[in-house]
Amino acid sequence: VLLGVGGLVVAVVVVVVMAVRGFLVPEDFEGRGEGSVVVVVPVGVSAGEIGDVLVREGVVASRGAFVQVVEERGKAGTLRPGSYRLRKRMAAAQALDLMLESRSRVRKRVTLPEGLRASETVARLAKGSGVPEAELRALAAAPGGLGLPSYAGGAVEGFLFPATYDIEPKTTATDLMRALVRRFKRAAASVGLEEGAARVRLTPRQVVVVASIVQAEGGSEADYPKIARVVYNRLASGAKLEMDSTVMYGLGKHGIVASHAEIKRDTPYNTYLHRGLPPGPIANPGEAALRAALYPAKGDWYWFVTVDPERRITKFTDKESEFVKFREELHARLRRH
């Protein structure tokens, strides 16, 4: 009887120890794992929730093992949402190590330079991301769900911010276009667009229009505030802007010099024929151009010409005779090249 009771006690103790050990030392795999699996970590989840995802995909043995190693290393704040290429049956520590390495992220990267038009932005996004271009174009044409600022006028031109974007495998066309608009809003907040528009006596949308002209006209970034000043000087005098960049946009063409025939073509964007700003942005400006539109340089310049487009050398003047010479300099360079 005593032997039987003793054996029962030992069995109970073993069960209790195993239970306590399972609670204190969560189940874990050993080693680097095997095979390959892509795991998607949603936005805003905790380390425990990430552990649940990893368990569900067969990467780690238990939520507890993953949470424990994350807490021991103090890495809870460094785990980012996204898609990761991991292995099956990994030790939790190995899984965490791999998730912290950039090489495990499954993503594409697309860089959008400043000054692209919306149509060009969409084409480049589609090519770099694999997202169908038709879906992106449909959203650009009907952008009601993209979160555009109220002053955008229901159009994406000017509000698809140029930057580098990481694209996860499950990123949709809507996700991507919303990201560009969110990035514009961040830049607008950074330069104080809505608050600063009154200082230059424009609406926020008109500031974006000026910034798009500044961006499209070329020149170096250091010249942007001067280009903005020329725009404001001409607006203040009631003169036409006479910007080739707006003419070419209205015709759906590219080029830094509009021909005489093109200048005579009547579109809403022809600032040789119509006074004031064009009806909308002509490109997607970067932060430097937005800032220049809000903080133009001080000066009496009335004309400018980018006489050397390749090196982005721009000359400014308040004398028409000098402007004519600058134009001749540009045409001579274009003929030589």
86 pLDDT above the threshold of 50: yes
308-321 pLDDT, tens digit per residue, is 988 889 999 999 99
224-277 pLDDT, tens digit per residue, is 999 999 999 999 999 999 999 999 999 999 988 999 999 999 999 999 999 999
Mean pLDDT of the chain: 91
Q: Is the pTM of this model over 0.85?
A: no
**What pLDDT score does 164 carry?**
95
- Compute the average pLDDT of residues 99-107: 88
Which residues are CB-contacts of 189 (< 8 A; sequence separation ≥ 6)?
none
- Compute the average pLDDT of residues 60-80: 93
pLDDT confidence band for 76 (50 / 70 / 90): confident
**What pLDDT score does 19 carry?**
47
pLDDT confidence band for 108 (50 / 70 / 90): confident
Assign domain 26-104 one CATH number from 3.10.450.240, 3.30.1490.480, 3.40.50.2300, 1.20.1630.10: 3.30.1490.480
Task: Report phi then psi at 272, rounded to 5.
Answer: -80, -25
Nearest to 150 by CA among 102, 97, 98, 188: 188
**What pLDDT score does 157 carry?**
98
82 pLDDT above the threshold of 80: yes
| CA atoms of 128 and 63, how far apart (whole Å) | 36
In the structure encoding, which two tokens stand for residue 317, read together?
Answer: 């003047």
- List the domain boundaries for the chain: 26-104, 108-191, 193-336
Q: How far is CA 173 from CA 107, 122, 129, 132, 198, in A?
A: 15, 10, 10, 8, 35
* Cα three-residue angle 45-46-52, rounded to 5 degrees: 85
**What pLDDT score does 5 carry?**
52
Which residues are CB-contacts of 223 (< 8 A; sequence separation ≥ 6)?
304, 312, 314, 316
**What pLDDT score does 80 carry?**
85
187 pLDDT above the threshold of 50: yes
Long-range own/partner contacts, residues 193-200 (CB < 8 A, 24 or more apart): 193/290, 193/294, 194/151, 196/294, 196/295, 197/294, 199/294, 200/232, 200/293, 200/294, 200/296
128 pLDDT above the threshold of 90: yes
**What pLDDT score does 256 carry?**
80
pLDDT confidence band for 21 (50 / 70 / 90): very low
Q: Which residue has the tokens 């049956």?
A: 89
**What pLDDT score does 218 carry?**
76
**What pLDDT score does 20 carry?**
46
Nearest to 255 by CA among 247, 39, 14, 138: 247
pLDDT confidence band for 336 (50 / 70 / 90): confident
215-231 pLDDT, tens digit per residue, is 999 789 999 999 999 99
28 pLDDT above the threshold of 90: yes
23 pLDDT above the threshold of 70: no
In the structure encoding, which two tokens stand for residue 104, read together?
Answer: 């495990």
7 pLDDT above the threshold of 70: no
